Amino acid sequence: MNVSPAATSASPAYDPPWLALPREVSDMLRPMMPGIVEAIIDAVPQLVPAYARPIEGRFGRGLRRGVAAALDRFLQLPGTRLPALSEESRQLVAGLGSGEFRQGRSMDALLSAYRMGARVTFREMSRVSVEHHLGQSVVVDLGESILAYIDELSAVSAEAYAFEQSERAGAVDRRRTELLDLLLLGQADESALRQTAAMADWSLPQRMVVVTLPIDRSAGLRLRLGPGTLVIERETDAVALVPARKSKSARADLEKALRGRGAAVGPAGGWEKVPDSLRLAVLAASALPPREGPEDPPIWADEHLAEVILGAEPSAIAELASRRLAPLEGLRPAQRERLAETLLSWLRHWGQRAPVAAELGIHPQTVGYRAAQLRELFGDALEDPKARFELELALHAGRR
């Protein structure tokens, strides 16, 4: 298996505690090894809840092999300056750590098993030492050696666990980036997307929104938006895909998370609408004045669709305005501005004098006077639905 580069053996910088043990201790203890192995095996499911399962099959064989190998290595140490673990035993112990991560358990279970194994081992070995009259100093050195040995086992397993965890996190991040690319480009069918999402450990939401924002304002974005969010960084911007819930509170939470980041949010939709959501978010960001203040809310594209349409093709809008608003060109600037303002309000309120007067703050008779001027200038165009629509577009564009 792969272990991190730091997990290579090294000679201790000080004399290990097992150097003080007589070499004959190993010969005395070796016949006890099968019994100690079984004592540890029996204690594991009783004292460590995570392993409360029948000690049989592949799990049982692996546990017995690991315990036996660890004890065998320990018996090689008394009276020597050997490191706690050989290369072979280091690989085995590292495998236990990475295996805990793959099984979905925390390191606490394995560390508890190590501590429990140390207690059982010391109890049995110290009993034999006393029976053979090896003296109290040997028992003390034996206890210190067992503790130092278990500390080394724990450190190697924990390092392998952390390495496996970081490797898995990196692989998941790469798969999530690939998934978001597929969604943004709209180049995969639902079956392929769900398969890729499963490999990326991500559930495909029913509805989602796309967020785009400047890359220099994306620090901490993934953490701020929550674990269900996918984020990628491009050359000049960051793009996030956020699960969308149909509630005012969810929208408010997203707005709070994006406040001060100069973000634009596309409309919510299913996975097949993700490219459209991104496109509209980008168009909204380019069509509206930038929101760069530290407390400025994001731009919601679905609240500014008219501006998005107007900004999508500026040359076409300019041509439309030039053609439809030509009757105003011969007027003085102030008069042209007044009549353009009145025409937009008149179109918006379908020619009703009272709402137009209220909006513009003028007398209804003034509205009537200006409406007569507009009819004289624009003629039948004011009665043509298509012309009215184009006039309103052109007038809106002029006020952006």
The domain that holds 219 is classified in CATH as 3.30.70
**What is residue 3's predicted lDDT score, i.e. its pLDDT?**
45
pLDDT in tens, 374-386: 999 999 889 888 8
**Are both 278 and 302 inside the same structural domain?**
yes
Q: How far apart are CA 286 and CA 394, in angstroms?
A: 19
Examine residue 107 and state whether it is found in any structural domain, yes or no: yes
The pLDDT of residue 341 is above 90:
yes
Q: Kindly state the average pLDDT of the residues 81-110.
A: 84
* Of 76, 99, 79, the residue nearest 89 (C-alpha): 76
Examine residue 193 and state whether it is found in any structural domain, yes or no: no
Please provide residue 152's backbone torsions phi and psi, each rounded to the nearest 5 degrees.
-65, -45
The pLDDT of residue 1 is above 80:
no
Coil, helix or strand at residue 121? helix
**Of 133-137, 269-273, 312-316, which one has max mean pLDDT?**
269-273
**Are both 81 and 212 inside the same structural domain?**
no
In Å, how far are 126, 325, 383 from 344, measured between CA atoms?
A: 97, 11, 14
Examine residue 154 and state whether it is found in any structural domain, yes or no: yes
pLDDT in tens, 174-209: 777 777 788 888 767 777 778 878 877 778 888 889
Examine residue 174 and state whether it is found in any structural domain, yes or no: no
The pLDDT of residue 123 is above 60:
yes
In Å, how far are 146, 174, 274 from 188, measured between CA atoms?
A: 57, 17, 12
**What is residue 6's predicted lDDT score, i.e. its pLDDT?**
43
**What is residue 377's predicted lDDT score, i.e. its pLDDT?**
93
* Domain stops at, among 140, 168, 196: 168
Q: How many domains does the chain have?
A: 3
* Domain stops at, among 280, 311, 342: 311
DSSP readout, 64-102?
A: HHHHHHHHHHHHT-TTS---S--HHHHHHHHHHHHHHHH
Examine residue 178 and state whether it is found in any structural domain, yes or no: no
State the helix-helix crossing angle for 305-312 and 274-287, rounded to 10 degrees.
80
250 in Cβ contact with 268 (< 8 Å) = no
Examine residue 73 and state whether it is found in any structural domain, yes or no: yes
In Å, how far are 216, 225, 257, 264, 269 from 290, measured between CA atoms?
A: 15, 22, 18, 10, 25
In Å, how far are 14, 121, 289 from 11, measured between CA atoms?
A: 9, 25, 65
**What is residue 10's predicted lDDT score, i.e. its pLDDT?**
46
State the helix-helix crossing angle for 385-398 and 305-312, rounded to 10 degrees.
90
**Are both 269 and 347 inside the same structural domain?**
no
The pLDDT of residue 360 is above 90:
yes
**Are both 130 and 275 inside the same structural domain?**
no
**Are both 118 and 260 inside the same structural domain?**
no
**Are both 237 and 383 inside the same structural domain?**
no
The burial of 108, by beta-carbon neighbours within 10 Å (0-12 exposed, 13-18 middle, 19 or more buried), is given as: exposed
Examine residue 194 and state whether it is found in any structural domain, yes or no: no
* Domain stops at, among 296, 311, 326: 311
Name every residue whose Cβ is closer than 8 Å to that of residue 72 and which is 6 or more positions away in sequence. 33
* Of 80, 85, 86, the residue nearest 16 (C-alpha): 80
**Are both 295 and 352 inside the same structural domain?**
no
**Are both 323 and 302 inside the same structural domain?**
no
DSSP readout, 234-298?
A: -SSEEEEEEE--SSHHHHHHHHHHHTTTT-EEPPPB-GGGHHHHHHHHHHHHHHS----STTPPP
155 in Cβ contact with 6 (< 8 Å) = no
**What is residue 219's predicted lDDT score, i.e. its pLDDT?**
86
CATH number for position 362: 1.10.10.2840
The pLDDT of residue 88 is above 50:
yes
**What is residue 331's predicted lDDT score, i.e. its pLDDT?**
92
The pLDDT of residue 229 is above 90:
no
| Element holding 213 (H helix, E strand) | strand 208-214
Examine residue 195 and state whether it is found in any structural domain, yes or no: no
List the strands of the sheet with 208-214, edge to edge. Answer: 230-233, 237-243, 208-214, 264-265, 299-300
**Are both 14 and 115 inside the same structural domain?**
yes
**Are both 66 and 134 inside the same structural domain?**
yes
Categorize the per-residue pLDDT at 55 as very low, low, confident or very high, splitting at 50, 70 and 90. low
Report the length, in residues, of the chain: 400
Q: Which string of b and e fits 197-213 if b means at least 16 CB within 10 Å?
A: beebebebbeebbbbbb
In Å, how far are 325, 336, 345 from 333, measured between CA atoms?
A: 13, 5, 19
- DSSP secondary structure code for residue 135 in this structure: -
The pLDDT of residue 224 is above 70:
yes
Q: How far apart are CA 206 and CA 341, in angstroms?
A: 44
**Share of residues in the chain with pLDDT > 90 (%):** 22
**What is residue 126's predicted lDDT score, i.e. its pLDDT?**
84
Residues paired with residue 233 on neighbouring β-strands, in sequence order: 238
What integer best gives the mean pLDDT of the chain?
83
Q: In which domain, by residue range, is 393 found?
A: 313-398
